[in-house]
Amino acid sequence: MQQPNHEIPGDVGRESSPRSSPAAPEPGWRRARLAPSLAEVHRSVEVNGATWFRKLLAFAGPGYLVAVGYMDPGNWATDLAGGSRFGYALLSVILLSNLMAVLLQGLASKLGIVTGRDLAQACRDHYSPRVAFSLWVLCELAIAACDLAEVIGTAIALNLLFDIPLPWGIAITALDVMIVLWLQNRGFRMLEALVIALVAVVGGCFVFELFISRPDLGAVARGFVPTSEIVRNPEMLYIAIGILGATVMPHNLYLHSSIVQTRKYEESAEGKREAVRFAFLDSTIALTFALFINAAILIVAAATFHTSGNTQVAEIQDAYQLLTPLLGVAGASAVFALALLASGQNSTLTGTLAGQIVMEGFLDLRIRPWLRRLITRAIAIVPAAIVAIIYGESGTAKLLVFSQVVLSLQLSFAVFPLVRFTSDRVKMGEFVNSPALRFSAYGVATVIASLNVWLLVQTVKEWLT
């Protein structure tokens, strides 16, 4: 049963005000732990249950808030571009990205449960102030890029469903801050319930789209097997890295390490061990849904556009216009746009929390949630509105894909600290990563960094030529 959502006097809702504590630093940390992450909902959800299944349900929720970031409008742009241009070939990238996500989100939840710090707080308490500030700036850039994708995706959906011009749709997205604030006041489980409902809407829409597109199942199966062409073809690699950036999102690591602490698990070693296990199950199940939706978008694009010769469909608007006539099923385009709207609104909800967590964690600073949300949204609205007014639909589509590449470039600055912290025995104690897990985690971090360096080299070469 959920506990009342009490506010903490003198903390929640006040304007910028740093917190301090005279407590001595814990072993392994440069500074002492200060206020808990998301203090207003910290340990507010009871998880005690008589059966294993009831406990699983009690822990279920944070994983779906995280999974939302893996199926946001940025994914749509990269998956549509990959499916229409290269058929089913990039399904392997979606699968590998999802496996990376399962590993990294598992580490993020373990960090939060074991240390009582979210990733932003851990960076602040481990690194020097200058390094921590630099990491905060990079993370804010990643959140702005993510929010940019949500703004554009929601505006496009409003345009497709209700014929609202893109600039007006972009302006309307600023109002969703009211939804977030209302949900936060209703309690964390209410927020989780809405997110899960919207995930179900997106999933149901793509079950319908898959059924009517009738993809080649053999080709789909072969698409999940990686090929060397992905690395050798610069255009394919660019979209592949965009898929990686849209799938494994840096702000989700900060988000997950915080929201797992909303559960009121026992602070003993056994209680933390149980919480880590259930949190991993929760995120793995949720990310499996994200894998299905991402794969479904690419499969529908490949089955509908690539096979019909429409290999340049990279814009959501073009996909919407072509789906119904190519599939010959009335309503196919409307269902597609409805799923996009649900996806954009879902990502908006979790983006708000991520921004709050990052600012509080890195700076030990709290501003009013509505003001924090408006600042983040304004950073995304301004470039999106300018591009929409000057370049129209084509410009917004390119900006959407570019935002996902920016996310991928920021990813290493969240992944390496996460792996380092969870591999430190002084910080984690008996929960430290095993040698095999440490090797896998650093391997994933190295692959991500290497792909990003390669992308930068190719981009510079294009600029010079």
pLDDT digit string (tens) for 20-68? 445 677 888 888 887 888 887 888 888 877 788 889 999 999 999 998 8
Assigned domain for 33 exists:
no
Q: In the beta sheet, which residues pair with residue 166?
A: none
Does residue 22 lie within any of the structural domains?
no
- CA atoms 376, 379, 385, 387: torsion sign: negative
* pLDDT exceeds cutoff 90 at 278: yes
Residue 351 maps to a domain: yes
Q: How far apart are the first and last CA of the chain?
A: 62
| C-alpha triplet 327, 332, 334: angle, nearest 5° | 150
How far is CA 396 from each of CA 20, 153, 165, rounded to the nearest angstrom? Answer: 44, 9, 13
Using the predicted structure, report yes or no on whether residue 407 has a pLDDT greater than 90.
no
Residue 212 lies in a domain: yes
pLDDT, one tens digit per residue, over 308-320 is 887 777 667 778 8
Residue 24 located in a structural domain: no
Work out how many domains the chain is built from and give that number. Answer: 1
Residue type, 356: Q
Spatial distance between the Cα atoms of 208 and 189, rounded to a whole number of angstroms: 29
Choose between 114 and 458: higher pLDDT: 114
**DSSP codes, 150-187:** HHHHHHHHHHHHH---HHHHHHHGGGGHHHHHHHHHH-
Q: Tell me if 297 sits within 8 A of 73, measured CB to CB.
A: no
Q: Tens digits of per-residue pLDDT, 73-95? A: 767 777 888 899 999 999 999 99
Q: Is residue 25 part of a domain?
A: no
CATH for 222? 1.20.1740.10
User: What does the alpha-carbon distance between residue 246 and residue 405 come to, in Å, rounded to a whole number?
Assistant: 8
Burial, 48: exposed, middle or buried (Cβ in 10 Å; 0-12, 13-18, 19+)?
exposed
Structure tokens at 280: 């991993």
| In-domain check, residue 18 | no
Q: What are phi and psi of 19, to 5 degrees?
A: -110, 155
Does residue 27 sit within a domain?
Answer: no
| pLDDT value, residue 15 | 40
Give the domain extent around 274: 39-464
Sort 88 into a burial class: Cβ within 10 Å, 0-12 / 13-18 / 19+: buried
| Cβ pair 45, 60 in contact under 8 A | no
